[in-house]
A and B are shown apart, each in its own frame.
Chain A
Amino acid sequence: MLRLDLPSDPRVNRVARLRAIIIAAMLSVSGLGKRFGKRWIFRRIEFCLTPGQVLVVTGPNGSGKSTLLRILAGLEPPTGGEVDASGAVGYVSPELALYAQLTGSEHLKLASKLRRGSQGCDPVGALGKVGLDSAGGLRVGAYSTGMKARLRLALAVCHRPGVLLLDEASASLDEEGKSLVERTIAEQRGSGVVVLATNDPSERRYGDFELRLGG
């Protein structure tokens, strides 16, 4: 699953190659499992992504796609295993609530003030990129579902994360919004990795790898 331009010199032994992979990896996951009560949602998930790679996570409802992404985002602890993400993380999910009383640009300003260890964010540019430039001064309470989805995308990418996690990112988006997601993924390939969880079979085309859960 890994394609690295490692020297094919026979003197570079296996351990050294593995070490090179681990250093180059932006997101590596080993032995990851999550259990709710007595039921294991998933167990022993292993993968390792290097910059430029896109992983698509598929599986039926309840197979743990969203839970996996929440764990990768650090929002929930796994029952077992390890996640190692180098660099900042951006996360998009339809379940991620926004402050109804704050405006779109206030969200981005707040995020840029509170985030550490990442490049600064330009709220105006980020809003323009997702097509919300005219709605930046509007309170999110007045946003439509699709506008909120766009704002979530802006919040996730404006600090240029190394790891971008998209959970059903194009759900409730119009055609233009869907192509926005596609552009975002293509752009992210240039600087980091993407993990995309989806129920839409056509979105498998974005990925280099597919992780099937619950099968």
Chain B
Amino acid sequence: MSLGWGAEVAAVVRKEFRVELRGRVGLYSTLVFAVGAVTALGLASVRGEPSPSLAAGLLWVAMLFACVVGLARTFLAEEEQGTGDLLRLIANPGPVFWGKAIFNFLLIVAVAGLVVPLFVLFVRVQVADVGLLVCGTLCGCAGLAAVLSMCGALASRATGRGLLTGVISLPLLLPVLAAGITALRGAFGDSVSESWGAVASLAGMAAAFFAIGPYLYAAVWKQ
């Protein structure tokens, strides 16, 4: 049974990758926004490097910019294309939510893999603690993926869904960003004792969001 469930999730993830790779719109726009945002930040810091705290904030803003535009799309695209009904006919909500959330997480990690090195290179910040940078970024990506997946799912069947996803996810992302900034401040050289605590609370938040997300998605699945 659990094996069957895993196969269902894998089928959804595979389907998402196929649709997204063949459609390409979401991937290209994410790429352009990610590189564009980091370039703009690089231009702003031509003279002198920003403080660790500011650098951490800028990095998360760049991530947010790249992710909100391109990646909340998985649930939205489903309703825009009208394929939501097909999915509701053939699938169960749990695997659909997990498949899409995992797909979102993998894409956000890929975006981070592009944005973070580029940011360090362009904005010329000193990385004091690589472990903290990697852990903080990964946990932050999980938080972003959880919030964006759920908010995309909740907004997908409303009028003005694209705008609404931004409206409802941004406030929920603020606590994630606050913790993410605290985590990366330490990574960029601010000697703060709270950074690992912030990583832990990022992980906790992401876990809480991921834990309740599937249940809520199942509850609104056939409304």
Binding site for B on A (CB under 8 A): 73-77, 89, 91, 95-102, 106, 110-111, 113-116, 139, 155
B8 surroundings in chain A (CB, below 8 A): 113-114
Q: Is there an interface contact between B19 and A114, defined as CB atoms closer than 8 Å? A: no
Give Cα distance in the complex from A97 to B87, angstroms: 10
Q: Is there an interface contact between B11 and A113, defined as CB atoms closer than 8 Å? A: yes
B86 surroundings in chain A (CB, below 8 A): 96-99, 155
- Most chain-B CB neighbours within 10 Å: which of A73, A111, A113, A115? A113
B85 surroundings in chain A (CB, below 8 A): 75, 95-97
A73 surroundings in chain B (CB, below 8 A): 89
Give Cα distance in the complex from A195 to B83, angstroms: 22
Q: Is there an interface contact between B23 and A114, defined as CB atoms closer than 8 Å? A: no
Determine how close the nearest CB of chain B comes to the CB of A81; give it in whole angstroms.
Answer: 16
A100 surroundings in chain B (CB, below 8 A): 81
Q: Is there an interface contact between A114 and B91, defined as CB atoms closer than 8 Å? A: yes
Q: Is there an interface contact between A74 and B19, defined as CB atoms closer than 8 Å? A: no
The 5 closest A-B pairs by CB, nearest first: A97-B82, A101-B22, A114-B91, A113-B11, A111-B90
Give Cα distance in the complex from A98 to B7, angstroms: 22
Q: Which of B163-201 contact A (CB under 8 A)?
A: none
Any A CB within 8 A of the CB of B92: yes
Give Cα distance in the complex from A74 to B222, angstroms: 7
Determine how close the nearest CB of chain B comes to the CB of A14; give it in whole angstroms.
Answer: 35
Q: Is there an interface contact between B83 and A110, defined as CB atoms closer than 8 Å? A: no
Give Cα distance in the complex from A97 to B4, angstroms: 26
Give Cα distance in the complex from A111 to B223, angstroms: 21
Which residue of the partner chain A has the closest CB to B11?
Answer: A113
Give Cα distance in the complex from A74 to B92, angstroms: 12
Give Cα distance in the complex from A98 to B83, angstroms: 6
Q: A74-B88, A114-B11, A155-B90 are known contacts; what are 11 more A-B pairs with Cβ within 8 Å?
A: A74-B89, A75-B88, A77-B222, A96-B85, A99-B15, A110-B11, A110-B90, A113-B11, A114-B8, A114-B12, A139-B22
Which residue of the partner chain A has the closest CB to B22?
Answer: A101
B222 surroundings in chain A (CB, below 8 A): 74-77
CB<8 Å pairs between A and B, sample of 19:
A75-B89, A77-B222, A77-B223, A89-B89, A96-B86, A97-B81, A97-B82, A97-B83, A97-B86, A98-B86, A99-B19, A101-B22, A102-B18, A106-B15, A110-B11, A110-B15, A113-B8, A114-B92, A115-B91
Q: Is there an interface contact between A102 and B15, defined as CB atoms closer than 8 Å? A: yes
Any A CB within 8 A of the CB of B95: yes
Q: Is there an interface contact between A101 and B7, defined as CB atoms closer than 8 Å? A: no
Q: Is there an interface contact between B95 and A114, defined as CB atoms closer than 8 Å? A: yes
